[in-house]
Amino acid sequence: MEMRRALSLVLGLMLLFSGLMNAELVAGTGLTIDFSQDKWAYLRESIDSGGTWLNTKDGQYWYFRPQTGNAPVWSFGYDSTKGAMKLWEGYGGSTGHARGVVAVLNQSIVVSTNFTVTFQIFGSGANRAYVVGVLIFRKDGTVVGLRYATQGSNLEPGARDGTTYYAPVAGADTEYRFYVMNKTAIEAGFTNVTVNPLADLASKGVVLNPSDIAYIRVYFGLVLYDVNAQIWLKSITVKEETGKVVFSLKDALTGQSLTGVTVKEGNTTLGVIDDGGTLQLTKGTHTLTFEKSGYWSVTKTIDVQGDMSVSVEMYPSSAAFQFLNFPSDIQVYENSIYELTFTLSPISTQATYNTYLSLSGLSDVLEVRKDGQTISPESGKYYLGDISSPAQISIKFRAGSVGTHGFTITLTSNDAIMSKTYTTTKQVTYQVEPLPFSVQMPSEWQVGTNELRISESSGQSYLITAVLKDSQGNEVWSDSYAFSPYEAYTFQVNVPAEGSYTLELQWNGQTAVFDIQVNPAITLKTKQLTVEKGGEGVITLHFKNPSSSVQYYTIKVSGGFLPKEINQSISVAPLTEKDVSIAFAVPSELTYDAYELNVTVLQGDAVVFSDKVAVIISDSGGFNLPIAGGDNSWLIYAIAGLIVIAILAALARR
């Protein structure tokens, strides 16, 4: 704002030199005109009444107007001993009259919100009153005056107020008076007198909107009675109401703090700040631009009405996209499905051709959509195409176990001629919370009825719908129950067949998903066996009972060379497993060297298992050397004889 004021001052000087009598200054967060400083030396104008009673006169930088009906003798100029502008007034030897004049600074000061004015003044004399004031020039052409005065002998308000004493300062259409200054303090030394014109008007029932103000001017002066007196003005400070704005400055992709960010309003640099830095801004709307080397600039409009915080995310210049409407705090329930939705907005449409999205560290991705359309993965990437306007992206995934998890979104894109690649990377962190209820599942799921027990643990009431879906996503079972706080309920889940399933638990718009594998309760251990003609064979089955009740089965073996069906009834104790063997006789006379037997298991009248066993027929079960020809018995006798001879020879050596 200092630079802005300096520029305004330079412009003002240029206008003055071209013949304009007043310049425009901007109050902003603080405009101080200190008459002892060289930069304000041009305002040190000397002018007087020429030794005569005079109260109206125009200078270049000051003009003088009456505040009583009788003119004083006066002089005005810079007092170097005090570093202040001095206004001296005299009664000119004519008694019985109140005389007064004010010196108005011919500088238009622009304000945009509520403001305060501080006058640093000092006075001396007798039988006098000191005055400072503000003239508010409204955009409709009218002028509102506010006069702030001390109370002095013969000059206090009351009988004389509203008469020739304290006439409105010339130029003010309406004037309001406030007797608030301490004369003793002013005459003891330079004293700051601070006024709030809009608040003071409001105390009189007058509401003036800052947007109706074109500019203000300030003045100071004296009223005296049959004496000489003087008042010095050392400085004037005009400050608009401000708010302290705290800035959060982060890298939009990594979340890291940024330093050395330049903040501008228009062409004016307000400051260079780090993450957590502050600026004092006037109340009202500000359009700020944030700049940093290696980053795209960011423009943001804020409305300052007091102290506030502003968050700014800046994207590296290597990135091509902004992530808008991205959730800052992601919390999901364990095993639940979460849909992350955000807007992908091009930073520059010259850098967003041939865009691909990839996900790292996220294993259970269910779906990716662009503007509502499902995108199929290509070698682990999702092709989004050319993006010239904001696009809505949604990523649906299933959360895992309780704890803090994260993954990375990477966008790669090119310029129009594919000569440059841009990479935009976003780190995503999410917190997985425990379910608001506990879930007890069977240690092993089985075909038929399974118990699913749910206990509410959050102290809330809600409806839970349990849905069982097969591997194709078809619903095969569902049930609902309205839980009261801390209530438990057991669902009876019917599984129609072996295979892979998903169990969904739906509540309050949330869905938790569990994978379920129903393994076979019965397996055939003997898939193939070799038997001899006239011998015997055995088929073995393995039974498993994960339930809490005894299971009864009937095993049937038929087909092949069996003359009739074999039936065997068994039972399996709760939470146990065992092998069951079925023996069968093999006829001596068979046509083929291989047969197929049918194995079926029934539970009641329902077939719960069926399979086939391949039976290979062998001529004999003895040892045969692969020698062609007829009877081989002579060879056996010869070998036996050789063994006997070897034994006798060994004994003879002893």
Say yes or no: do domains 2-240 and 242-314 share a fold: no
- Measure the CA–CA gap between 469 and 116, rounded to whole angstroms: 72
Amino acid in position 250: K
Q: How confident is the model at residue 608 (pLDDT cuts 50, 70, 90)?
A: confident
Which tens digit of pLDDT belongs to each residue from 70-89? 888 999 999 999 999 999 99
CATH architecture of 2-240: Sandwich (2.60)
Mean pLDDT of 398-424: 93
Residues 579-589 as b or e (16 or more Cβ within 10 Å = b):
ebebebebeee
- Enumerate the domain spans of the chain: 2-240, 242-314, 321-433, 439-518, 522-618
CATH architecture of 439-518: Sandwich (2.60)
Residue 415 has pLDDT above 70, yes or no: yes
Tally of CB atoms within 10 A around 397: 20
Tell me what percent of the residues of the chain surpass a pLDDT of 90.
Answer: 70
- Cβ pair 248, 309 in contact under 8 A: yes
* CATH for the stretch 522-618: 2.60.40.10
Residue partners of 615: CB distance under 8 A and separation at least 6: 528, 529, 530, 531, 537, 560, 561, 586, 594, 595, 596, 597
Residue 641 has pLDDT above 80, yes or no: no
How confident is the model at residue 207, as a pLDDT?
94
Residue 241 has pLDDT above 80, yes or no: yes
From the options 1.20.1290.10, 2.60.40.740, 2.30.30.30, 3.30.750.80, give the CATH code of 321-433: 2.60.40.740
Measured between alpha carbons, how far is residue 381 from residues 378, 476, 564 in Å? 5, 33, 61
| Mean pLDDT for all residues in the chain | 87
Residue whose pair of structure tokens reads 């947007």 in the numeric block: 211
Residue 167 has pLDDT above 90, yes or no: no
Which tens digit of pLDDT belongs to each residue from 349-377? 999 999 999 999 998 999 999 999 999 99
CATH architecture of 242-314: Sandwich (2.60)
Q: How confident is the model at residue 624 (pLDDT cuts 50, 70, 90)?
A: very low
